[in-house]
């Protein structure tokens, strides 16, 4: 296969710089993809800078990938050359543990293989992600992209979209349910769009009054300023489900107070330091639950893409050439994006 052009981090402090490599040779069940667009996730920053202490350099980030199939292995049956496809956060799993057999590859008991900074299960080679012109991925981890959606806006659905869709589905969000979304960033804005499309009554919690109008534009029925105790108390004991997307350490108790009996607060934001412990009586007295959720499995991710196709949902993005990735990281850390950067990989081919 031809040389792939990419951007990589080479150590914890280096900027991402051009990097060339040769992808693996096409296996019988592999799909070769020309990458068109790749979303920029906060976890890309964590990995590029080894903030989770597991990075293997060089790191080529990117797990919100949309592209076209350019070649297929001899036994590929799910995709054809020319198909518009997506790749999310994982490219393999053990496929035999109970979680994998239930279609929950994200919870693979051996650990799924990350799209980047993972290890190929056959060769042990380090996987490289979507900040690159091409990928080779097993067909079972390649997804169909709905033809009616803007492909650049689809890219963040492969992580931000499924990270919010999966818990909304798991806890049966739909008509008649009152649902809270905490935080209006890359994850939160998708949570608002998806919960609204599912038919729930959606309330957005934010610390920023400046986000009220945008939250309502995205689909929130109500917006609560979470620092305003009076506004918070008006919703005591009323939520069926609250999805907390905030990745900074904060007190969970004010949100627990808002759950009705048997309500669930699910965390998808991953802070660098744990949240303070919740008050146990807040849980006991109403049989409330605190839960966590990761991405979805492959089948559920396809379900999410199809749902977004049916409802015309994509991420709100700022499309940039990949040469601006380092500036994008700094802006993202300042929350200076609405709501997801997407890299135009064609700029690498110029």
* Confidence bin at 41 (pLDDT 50/70/90): very high
* Confidence bin at 219 (pLDDT 50/70/90): very high
Structure tokens at 324: 């601006």
Q: What is the pLDDT of residues 98-128, one digit of tens each?
A: 999 999 999 999 999 999 999 999 999 999 9
Q: What's the start-to-end Cα distance of the chain, in Å?
A: 19
DSSP at 22: -
Top-level CATH class of 160-292?
alpha beta
pLDDT value of position 1: 59
Structure tokens at 125: 């080679």
**Is the pLDDT assigned to residue 342 strictly greater than 70?**
yes
Residues 141/92, Cβ–Cβ less than 8 Å: yes
pLDDT value of position 187: 97
- Domain residue ranges of the chain, discontinuous segments joined by +: 4-159+296-348, 160-292
Q: What's the CA gap between 61 and 9, in Å, rounded?
A: 8
Name the packing angle between helices 160-170 and 186-197 (round to 10°): 40
User: Any idea which fold 4-159+296-348 has?
Assistant: Quinone Oxidoreductase; Chain A, domain 1 (3.90.180)
Is pLDDT larger for residue 273 or for residue 290? 290
Average pLDDT (271-296) is 93
Q: What's the CA gap between 72 and 33, in Å, rounded?
A: 9
Q: What is the pLDDT of residues 60-108, one digit of tens each?
A: 999 999 999 999 999 999 999 999 999 999 999 999 999 999 999 999 9
């Amino acid at each position: 296969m031809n040389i792939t052009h990419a951007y990589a981090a080479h150590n914890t402090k280096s900027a991402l710089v051009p990097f060339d490599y040769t992808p693996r040779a096409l296996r019988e069940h592999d799909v070769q993809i020309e990458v068109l667009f790749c979303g920029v996730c906060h976890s890309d920053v964590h990995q590029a800078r080894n903030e989770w202490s597991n990075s293997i350099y060089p790191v080529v980030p990117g797990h919100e990938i949309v592209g076209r199939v350019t070649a297929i292995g001899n036994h590929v049956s799910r995709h054809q050359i020319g198909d518009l496809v997506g790749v999310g956060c994982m490219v393999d799993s053990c496929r035999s543990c109970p979680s994998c057999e239930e279609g929950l590859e994200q919870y693979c008991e051996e650990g799924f293989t990350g799209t980047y900074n993972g290890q190929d299960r056959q060769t042990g080679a380090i996987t490289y992600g979507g900040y690159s012109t091409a990928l080779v991925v097993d067909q079972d981890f390649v997804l169909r992209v709905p033809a009616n959606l803007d492909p650049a806006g689809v890219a963040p659905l492969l992580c931000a979209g499924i990270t919010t869709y999966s818990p909304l589905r798991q806890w049966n969000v739909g008509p008649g349910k009152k649902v809270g979304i905490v935080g209006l960033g890359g994850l939160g804005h998708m949570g608002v769009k998806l919960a609204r499309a599912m038919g729930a009554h959606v309330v957005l919690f934010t610390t920023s009054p400046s986000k009220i109008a945008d939250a309502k534009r995205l689909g929130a029925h109500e917006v609560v300023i979470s620092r305003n105790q009076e506004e918070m108390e008006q919703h005591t004991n009323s939520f069926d489900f609250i999805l907390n997307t905030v990745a900074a350490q904060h007190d969970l108790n004010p949100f627990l107070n808002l759950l009705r009996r048997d309500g669930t607060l699910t965390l998808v934001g991953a802070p660098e330091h744990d949240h303070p412990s919740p008050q146990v009586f807040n849980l006991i007295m109403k049989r409330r639950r605190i839960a966590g959720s990761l991405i979805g499995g492959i089948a559920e991710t396809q379900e999410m893409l199809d749902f977004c196709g049916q409802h015309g949902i994509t991420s709100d993005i700022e499309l940039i050439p990949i040469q601006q990735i380092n500036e994008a990281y700094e802006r993202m850390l300042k929350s200076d994006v609405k709501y997801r950067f997407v890299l135009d990989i064609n700029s690498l081919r110029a």
